[in-house]
Amino acid sequence: MGDIPSERLMLQGGSRLGHRLTFRFMDPHHPDYHRHSPFWVPGMPPRYSAEGAQLLRMKGLYVPQPFEGQVSFYVSRAGSPVECPARPAWQPYLPEADWTVVPGNHLSMLVGRNGRALGEMIGARIRSIATH
| Cα(53)–Cα(97) distance, integer angstroms | 31
Q: What are phi and psi of 49, to 5 degrees?
A: -65, -40
Largest interatomic CA distance in the chain = 61
Contact residues for 93 (Cβ-Cβ < 8 A; gap 6+): 64, 65, 66, 67
CB 38 within 8 A of CB 18: yes
Confidence of residue 5 (pLDDT cuts 50, 70, 90): very low
What ranges do the domains of the chain cover? 6-61, 71-130
Percent of the chain whose predicted confidence (pLDDT) is above 90: 42
- Helix then strand then coil, in percent of the chain rounded to 5, is 40, 10, 45
**So what's the pLDDT on residue 11?**
39
Q: Which amino acid appears at position 31 of this protein? A: P
Condensed to tens digits (0 to 9), the pLDDT of residues 26-65 reads 888 888 888 888 778 888 888 988 898 888 888 888 889 9
**So what's the pLDDT on residue 38?**
75
Q: Which amino acid appears at position 61 of this protein? A: L
**So what's the pLDDT on residue 10?**
41
**So what's the pLDDT on residue 112?**
95
Residue 56 or 15, more confident: 56
